[in-house]
Amino acid sequence: MALYFYPPSVEELIAALTKLPGVGPKTAQRLAMHLLHAREEDAAGLAEAILQARERVRRCHICGNLTDEETCPVCQDEQRDTTTICVVEQPGDCIVVEKTGQYQGLYHVLHGALSPMEGIGPNDLNMASLMQRLQNGNVQEVIMATNTGVEGEATALYLARQIKPLNIKVSRLAYGVAVGGDLEYTDEATLGRALQGRLSI
Amino acid sequence: MAILRLNSLIMRNFRNYKEAEVSFNPRLNLILGDNAQGKTNLLEAIAYLSLGSSFREQGDDKLRRQGEDFFFLRANYSNKSGSHLLSVGSQSVKAAHNRRLWKRDENPCRKVSEIAGLLHTVVFTPEDLQLVKSSPEVRRKFLDREMVQLYSGYYLYLNNYRRALQQRNNLLKQLDYSASVQADEQLAVWEEQLAENGAVIIKKRLDLLHLLNEIGQKIQAELTDCREQLRLQYLSVWSAADIEKIEPAEIAARLRQAYVDGRPEDKRRRTTLLGPHRDDFRIYINETEGRYYASQGQQRTAALALKLSELELVWQISGYYPLLLLDDVFSELDKNRRRELLRLMLGKAQIFITATEVAGELQSLRSEDYQLFEIENGCILGA
């Protein structure tokens, strides 16, 4: 007796979904079933949205952030403070910084961090264009907002050393206790760093 | 008195146990059985809950019962704040990828550092009896295993160090000799991470060794009727007598320099040759180096003294005795050392002993002082 599985077209959909990050076989199956049962226009809308995004999106030629136009809205915005650049690893990190409402400067997206293990060196990151941006003398401060893991730290340090000869101030995001967090539950390393970077009140 | 006691343990699909629940004696637990029945696996389960990994240094996929895709462990233990639960589930998600979920009193924990040392254990294996003459790696592991449980932050520094080391070694393997200036710039940023994290690791190890030295001297004197003196000395990148007085910032500076100086050789060998990942400590018995000049018996006594010192050290720092897991080691000790071990620790630390048969000294114990377990093919029979 032949065992019954999903029809080939459904199997193909499931296989495609499994390739997405964070999606295992079970989730892929559930998503596939959902898409098959969804209204025609919803499923088609999703497919269209993926195609549209793929077609339109590109990297801003100045900062490397994702944009639908030649230059991203932040780089176009004349209200922004052009003397400060905030360096982040991923486009999503810009959005997090934006949401604070505390930052008026420009961004630069590296699209990753140094990691010899994964074969990522300085030339594989969006670093050269940052150095170019710093040449015109307008920028006064570069804020390193890379992640706090070993790779993020190494990337920040590497850039800081490259930028140093240009006499531009390089700063690093402060480390500290989570706002509203309990001291008792803060790990030693974080608390140690927070002590080093304490502020007078 | 502040205490730490493992009351009971549940194992599911762990090694050769399908489903088992055991309640333990608060003082001494004798786990008996023939070879390859699962005695060590039971100790391994307890140690896994305390360290977040196996003392046999094996991955989660090796710990699962054959043919199963998950294992689960749960301990019910008591400490000074009452009785608690600690559990871990490990599920294989994709090939060579496991998802682990730790829970402390039914609250999920995100990091191993949150649970390491809650169920504090000191493991004593036949390998540890070789502590004096074995490779530096065994002695480093001895220090790090204890430290991870004593200081919750240590794990993070150790992990960061390992990661930066992996990255620097990978970089060394990829280096293209035509671009050596750029290579040095890239090496430097990993060295900075190594120095920052390595300095904390070295400082903590120095502090621990300093305490172990004090306690170890007393215990060694007791074990040998003052005939033998024990002294420990940490060996790092640089050999200096003043090493114990150095501040972390100074250690970091020296490490940084050591990595820079080591670059030519590191590039040739394509790996990082110096740093806390290669450090060691020397064990002197009566002021001669034990590794070369001590007899087998002296080496074993020193190893036992170090392990007992570790228990005392935890008592001094944390105010309780950790669980003592003796894996196949009790029968390896001679009569005097067995008696000393029981005299010093019975009633203080909760002891778990695996053996193939009941050794002499234990036959004279009162029956309420210990509990016998017979292990047969992954089943536990409370005798």
Cβ contact B186–A114 (<8 Å): yes
* Shared-domain flag, residues A78 and A112: yes
Q: Is A119 helix (H, G, I), strand (E, B) or coil?
A: coil
pLDDT of B168 reads 95
User: Per the structure block, which two tokens stand in for B160?
Assistant: 């960061």
Band of residue B110 on the pLDDT scale cut at 50, 70, 90: confident
pLDDT-wise least confident of A130-134, B42-46, B217-221, B241-245: B241-245
Q: Is B331 on the interface with A (CB under 8 A)?
A: no
Contact between B130 and B138 (Cβ < 8 Å): yes
* Shared-domain flag, residues A72 and A31: no
Write b or e for each residue in A136-166: b if 16 or more Cβ atoms lie within 10 A of its Cβ, otherwise e. eeebeebbbbbbebbbbbbbbbbbbebbeee
What angle (nearest 5°) sits at the alpha carbon of residue B54, between those of residues B51 and B59? 120
Band of residue B256 on the pLDDT scale cut at 50, 70, 90: very high
pLDDT of B296 reads 87
What digits encode the pLDDT tens for the residues B176-225? 765 677 788 899 999 999 999 999 999 999 999 999 999 999 999 988 88
Residue with tokens 């992954």: B378
* Shared-domain flag, residues A160 and A74: yes
Count of pairs with CB atoms under 8 A, one residue in A, one in B: 61
Contact between A24 and B93 (Cβ < 8 Å): yes
Q: Is B170 helix (H, G, I), strand (E, B) or coil?
A: helix
pLDDT of B272 reads 94
The sign one gets for the Cα dihedral A149, A152, A158, A163 is negative
pLDDT of B102 reads 92
Cβ within 8 Å of residue A150, ≥6 positions away: B160, B163, B164, B167, B193
Integer Cα distance of B42 and B17 in angstroms: 9
Cβ contact A155–B192 (<8 Å): no
pLDDT of A192 reads 80
What digits encode the pLDDT tens for the residues B265-299? 999 999 999 999 999 999 999 999 988 888 888 89
Q: How far is B126 from chain A (nearest CA, A)?
A: 34
* Shared-domain flag, residues A92 and A151: yes
A-chain residues within 8 Å CB-CB of B164? Answer: 150, 154
pLDDT of A90 reads 96
Nearest one of B206, B208, B269 to B240, comparing CA atoms: B206
Q: Is A93 on the interface with B (CB under 8 A)?
A: no
B-chain residues within 8 Å CB-CB of A154? Answer: 164, 167, 189-190, 192-193
CATH assignment of the domain containing A167: 3.40.1360.10
Band of residue B54 on the pLDDT scale cut at 50, 70, 90: confident
* Shared-domain flag, residues A36 and A129: no
Domain that holds residue A81: 62-172
* Shared-domain flag, residues A68 and A123: yes
Q: Is B156 on the interface with A (CB under 8 A)?
A: yes
- The pLDDT mean for chain A works out to 91
3-state SS track over B341-381: HHHHHECCECEEEEECCCCHHHHHCCHHHEEEEEEECCEEE
Integer Cα distance of A90 and B268 in angstroms: 35
- State mean pLDDT over A101-110: 95
Which of B189, B200, B201 should we substitute to test contact with A (largest number of A Cβ atoms within 10 Å)?
Answer: B189
A-chain residues within 8 Å CB-CB of B189? Answer: 114, 154-155, 157-158, 161
Integer Cα distance of B352 and B25 in angstroms: 9
- The pLDDT mean for chain B works out to 89
Q: pLDDT > 90: what percent of chain A?
A: 72
Identify the closest residue of chain A to B113 by CA–CA distance: A187
What is the maximal distance between C-alpha atoms in chain A?
Answer: 78
* Shared-domain flag, residues A76 and A141: yes
| Residues 254 through 293 of chain B touching chain A, CB cutoff 8 Å | none
Cβ contact A161–B164 (<8 Å): no
Q: How far is A158 from chain B (nearest CA, A)?
A: 6
**Number of structural domains chain A divides into:** 2
pLDDT-wise least confident of A160-164, A187-191, B9-13: A187-191
pLDDT of A2 reads 65
Integer Cα distance of B176 and A123 in angstroms: 14
Q: Is residue A3 situated within a structural domain?
A: no
Q: Backbone phi, then psi, for B8, in 5-degree steps?
A: -155, 165
* Shared-domain flag, residues A168 and A107: yes
Q: How many CA atoms lie within 13 Å of B98's alpha carbon, on the beta-carbon side?
A: 19
pLDDT of B240 reads 58
pLDDT of B2 reads 66
Which of A110, A125, A150, A161 should we substitute to test contact with B (largest number of B Cβ atoms within 10 Å)?
Answer: A150
pLDDT-wise least confident of B24-38, B52-66, B292-306: B52-66
Integer Cα distance of A122 and B190 in angstroms: 13
pLDDT of B89 reads 93
Q: How far is B232 from chain A (nearest CA, A)?
A: 28
Q: Backbone phi, then psi, for B170, in 5-degree steps?
A: -65, -40
A-chain residues within 8 Å CB-CB of B152? Answer: 187-188
- Burial zone of B223 (CB within 10 Å; 0-12 exposed, 13-18 middle, 19+ buried): buried
Contact between A147 and A139 (Cβ < 8 Å): no
Nearest one of B99, B123, B104 to B47, comparing CA atoms: B123
**Domains of chain B, earliest start first:** 1-120+320-383 (3.40.50.300)
According to DSSP, residue A114 is labeled -
Q: Which residues pair with A120 in a beta bridge?
A: A115
B261-267 CB contacts, 8 Å cutoff, 24+ apart:
B263/B184, B263/B187, B266/B172, B267/B172, B267/B175, B267/B177, B267/B183
- The answer, yes or no, to whether residue A31 has pLDDT greater than 90, is yes
Q: Is residue A184 situated within a structural domain?
A: no
User: Per the structure block, which two tokens stand in for B172?
Assistant: 């060394």
Cβ within 8 Å of residue B322, ≥6 positions away: B4, B120, B121, B122, B149, B311, B314, B349
Question: Which of B111, B164, B186 faces A122 most closely, judged by CB atoms?
Answer: B186
- State mean pLDDT over B231-252: 80
What digits encode the pLDDT tens for the residues A165-188? 999 999 999 888 888 777 777 777
- Burial zone of B214 (CB within 10 Å; 0-12 exposed, 13-18 middle, 19+ buried): middle
Q: Is B249 on the interface with A (CB under 8 A)?
A: no
* Shared-domain flag, residues A51 and A78: no
Band of residue A154 on the pLDDT scale cut at 50, 70, 90: very high
What digits encode the pLDDT tens for the residues B124-151? 988 888 899 999 999 999 999 999 889 8
Residue with tokens 């390491």: B116
* Shared-domain flag, residues A106 and A17: no
pLDDT of A50 reads 94
Looking at chain B, list the stretches that DSSP marks H as alpha helix, in order from N- to C-terminal side.
39-51, 60-63, 126-129, 136-150, 154-174, 180-223, 248-269, 290-293, 296-318, 335-345
- State mean pLDDT over B91-110: 83
CATH assignment of the domain containing A25: 1.10.8.420
Residue type, B142: F
Q: Is B360 on the interface with A (CB under 8 A)?
A: no
Write b or e for each residue in A60-84: b if 16 or more Cβ atoms lie within 10 A of its Cβ, otherwise e. bebbbbbbeeeebebbeeeebebeb
Q: How far is A67 from chain B (nearest CA, A)?
A: 31
3-state SS track over B220-280: HHHHCCCCCCEEEEEECCCCCHHHHHCCHHHHHHHHHHHHHHHHHHHHHHCCCCCCHHHCE
Q: Is A52 helix (H, G, I), strand (E, B) or coil?
A: helix
Cβ contact A117–B166 (<8 Å): yes
Higher pLDDT, B171 or B56: B171
Residue type, A53: A
The helix (run of H) or strand (run of E) holding residue A67 is: strand A66-67
Cβ contact B189–A189 (<8 Å): no
Contact between B171 and B187 (Cβ < 8 Å): yes
- State mean pLDDT over A182-195: 78
* Shared-domain flag, residues A136 and A52: no
Q: For strand B107-109 and strand B379-382, is the pairing parallel, antiparallel, or unpaired?
A: unpaired
What digits encode the pLDDT tens for the residues A39-77? 999 999 999 999 999 999 999 999 999 999 999 999 999
Which of B112, B113, B175, B190 should we substitute to test contact with A (largest number of A Cβ atoms within 10 Å)?
Answer: B190
Q: How far is A98 from chain B (nearest CA, A)?
A: 27
* Shared-domain flag, residues A67 and A165: yes
